[in-house]
Amino acid sequence: MKKRLAVLTSGGDAPGMNAAIRAVVRAGLHLGYDVVGIHEGYKGLLSANCRLLTARDVGGIIQQGGTILGSARCPEFKLDSGVQQARTVLEAAEIRGLVVIGGNGSQTGAAALAATGFPVVGIASTIDNDLLGTEISIGVDSALNVALEAIDRIKITASSHHRAFLVEVMGRNCGYLALAAGIAGGAEAIVMPEIEMEPQVVIDLFREAYQRGKSHAIGVVAEGAPYNAAKLAQYCNAQKDHVGFDLRVVTLGHVQRGGAPGGFDRLLATRFGVAAIECLDQDVTGVLVGLQKGQIVSTPYALVSGKTKGIDQSLVRMIGMLDA
Ligand code: ADP
Ligand code: F6P
């Protein structure tokens, strides 16, 4: 029997996961491995819900959002007993190495499995962009583009009605999507968990935009900020006269996770997938594959797992420099 590797997707899905699965399977086959697809993340791993994948099985998916393997959250895997059970399942299936495509929680789980001595390689994949060890994760660029399209559309109706909008974006506890969407979407206010900001500041920014004669104002709000969009709206509406504009709220939610991956994510996912297989092939394990300074790198889990990337200060410093 050929040496056997496996791949799973875990946590919140991200556009580009399928492209990563495809690359893992095809690069694995290319190097002479059999590749098993595990369904529904760690949940499927614990119940041995898996099947061998052929090159054809992953045909026609590079352009598809979501994950053909399915994803899940699995509380049992957070326990030592869950990790041990996963190892037993993998050994019983004669799997010699595992690729985990997922976000921060999934990579913490992967690190726990790797700590038992099982060969694991992670692929950074989350729209939150909160993983250390990579400047950008699979899905971030596509999710950002969805948020930007929404903001562009909202601006049009906002201008027609002289309104301000609070647009809430995902990111869990990380403000990256809000920061990037706020800057690239030309927002008047950006609210994120990493930067302390009194809600009054948002009112002031909207009011200043109103007084400068703008026909609309946009505030991009991270869902993880202490004042999310709903709380901020409540605060602002209590001082309606000070805002200037009439106010509306839009929560983008899971719309950002759906849809097709763009070219950047397809390419990134393909590069990550091939690199992950090369790591397993070269016995470089217990690492997370990511992108740094344009290069694909693998960073030991000891340096990245269980941690959260800080906000990009080079972006933060531009807020306030771009007002009109
Ligand atoms: P994401 O990977 O997108 O950040 P989650 O944080 O929900 O999503 O994590 C996905 C899964 O990873 C969890 O359901 C759990 O099975 C596993 N996981 C998360 N945190 C840990 C942890 N501290 N230890 C072990 N496994 C974890
Ligand atoms: O981690 C990705 C993410 O989309 C976060 O931005 C968000 O907070 C969370 O997942 C939503 O989780 P669920 O899909 O379980 O509602």
| Domains and their CATH numbers in the chain | 4-139+261-304 (3.40.50.450), 143-257 (3.40.50.460)
At 243 the pLDDT is 87
128 given a catalytic annotation: yes
Over residues 241-270, the pLDDT tens digits come to: 888 899 999 999 999 999 999 999 999 999
Instruction: Tell the residue nearest (CA) to atom 14 of ligand 1.
Output: 73
> For residue 261, what is the DSSP state?
-
Cβ–ligand 2 contact at 286 (below 6 Å): no
Distance from C-alpha of 22 to C-alpha of 54, rounded to nearest angstrom:
10
Instruction: Tell the residue nearest (CA) to atom 7 of ligand 2.
Output: 172
Q: What is the DSSP string of 230-268?
A: HHHHHHHHTTHHHH-SEEEEEE-GGGGTSS---HHHHHH
Q: Residue 322: is its pLDDT beyond 80?
A: yes
At 4 the pLDDT is 98
The Å distance, Cα 187 to ligand 1 centre, comes to 32
Distance from C-alpha of 103 to C-alpha of 123, rounded to nearest angstrom:
8
The Å distance, Cα 55 to ligand 2 centre, comes to 30
Q: What's the average model confidence in pLDDT over 122-135?
A: 98
Residue 47 CB burial class (10 angstroms; 0-12, 13-18, ≥19): middle
Mutation pick for ligand 1 pocket among 46, 78, 254 (CB with most ligand atoms within 8 Å): 78
At 1 the pLDDT is 66
